[in-house]
Structure 1
Amino acid sequence: MIARTKKKLTYQDYIGFPDDGNRHEIIDGDHFMNPAPSVYHQAVSRRIQFQLYTQIELKQLGIVADAPIDVQLTPHDIVQPDLVIVLAGRSIITPTKIKGVPDHLIEILSPSSDYNDRVLKFNLYEREKVPEYWIVDPFEHEVQQCLLGPSGYQRSTHESRVRCSYLGGEIEVDLSAVW
């Protein structure tokens, strides 16, 4: 659901949104609100996070954070991705949010977020040069991996395993353990 405003909203507007159990985001200055994710959505997120956590965070290679976490990409773009990976040595994590472009963002589709995740966030993440973006489809049991190249995102679809492009390609998610 979109609530159109006359002025482009910023992080200051964002922090004034109600804590009402909905997911509030600002994309290109417009306010978007979605209901809390389903139990299945959360289970899929947790299973992916667990695999990434054991391969990244436990080895002190970075952090794997889950929603709700604020990611401020620009003054007018504040999102709450399902999963966020920031590799070690980056200084974009503040006490209240991630301010800057993470190394990897993951969105898990739900009926209420499908358009935002596939179109609005895809365009936003590509424009802001997020190196890797996954669109996880829990209904079709596949992951669309979007890797940033010179002319934008290059997409590939995975149904059994998906390997991250960073850290030498050593990080992999076994999708049979996700669904």
Structure 2
Amino acid sequence: MSMPLEKRLYTYADYCTWPDEERVELIDGVMHNMSPAPNRRHQEILGALHGQFWTYLQGKSCKVYMSPFDVRLPRGDEPDEQVMTVVQPDLSVICDRNKLDDKGCRGAPDLVVEILSPSNPKHDLVRKLRLYERAGVREYWVVFPLDRIVQVYGLNDRGSYELTQFGGVKDTIEVGILPGLGVALETVFAE
């Protein structure tokens, strides 16, 4: 089946019928085309981040997943077929195993990392930041590959994001939700 052309709101049930080679996300029922396959630099950064998280989480209850990995973000207790938000973060850390199933994750991950695409930075910096904040993702990392910096947002007591850390290639970012894990950005941005 090819991608739908009509403008309407979609659900996870619709999403599941679309071809796997089409990279899309649903946010509040609106289909958003993702960038074409990530470039080499994006994949190197993602691999380095995943490696540091994966190594630290061995033997612990939290799990780390790389895209493509569906994260369904229901508004309430609606069944999966009616969920209107499905995203594929570059990296997700989930500590509540009850959120994991064979389809991916249902509910907010504890931490999400997005690596900015030069073609559409607003998607991650505005739309997804608001979405993750609303969903209750406790920690949101935005990676700027060209500038070699990372911004970290954390949920405050009011449920709003605030910038908690900012680091460049010589810095180490302390993972707020995983005490004891510091991510060395020199390794992440190594060429």
TM-score by length of 2: 0.85
What RMSD over aligned residues (CA atoms) do the two structures have, in Å?
A: 1.6
Please identify which structure carries the higher strand content: 1
Q: Which residue of 1 aligns with 2:161?
A: 153
Conserved? CA contact 1:163–1:171, under 8 Å: yes
Q: Deviations over 1:119-142 (max 9, x none)?
A: 110010011111010001111111
Q: State the structure with more CA Rg.
A: 2
Q: Following superposition, which runs of at least 4 residues in structure 1 exceed 4 angstroms of deviation?
A: 3-6
Structure 2 residue 87 is matched with structure 1 residue 79? yes
Distance across 1 between alignment mates of 2:177 and 2:122: 27
Note the residue ranges of structure 1 that are not aligned, 5 or more in a row: none
Q: Which residue of 2 aligns with 1:171?
A: 181
Question: Cα distance, 1:16 vs. partner?
Answer: 1.4
Identity across the alignment (%): 35
Question: Cα distance, 1:144 vs. partner?
Answer: 0.6
Q: Which residue of 2 aligns with 1:26?
A: 26
What is the DSSP-based 3-state SS (H/G/I as helix, E as strand, rest coil) of the residue aligned with 2:99? coil
Matched positions, count: 173
- Cα 1:105–1:140 change in 2 (3 A) is same
Note the residue ranges of structure 2 that are not aligned, 5 or more in a row: 75-82
What is the DSSP-based 3-state SS (H/G/I as helix, E as strand, rest coil) of the residue aligned with 1:140? coil
Distance across 1 between alignment mates of 2:23 and 2:46: 15
Q: Deviations over 1:61-112 (max 9, x none)?
A: 311100000000121110000001012x431001112111111011001113
Letter in 1 for 2:8: K
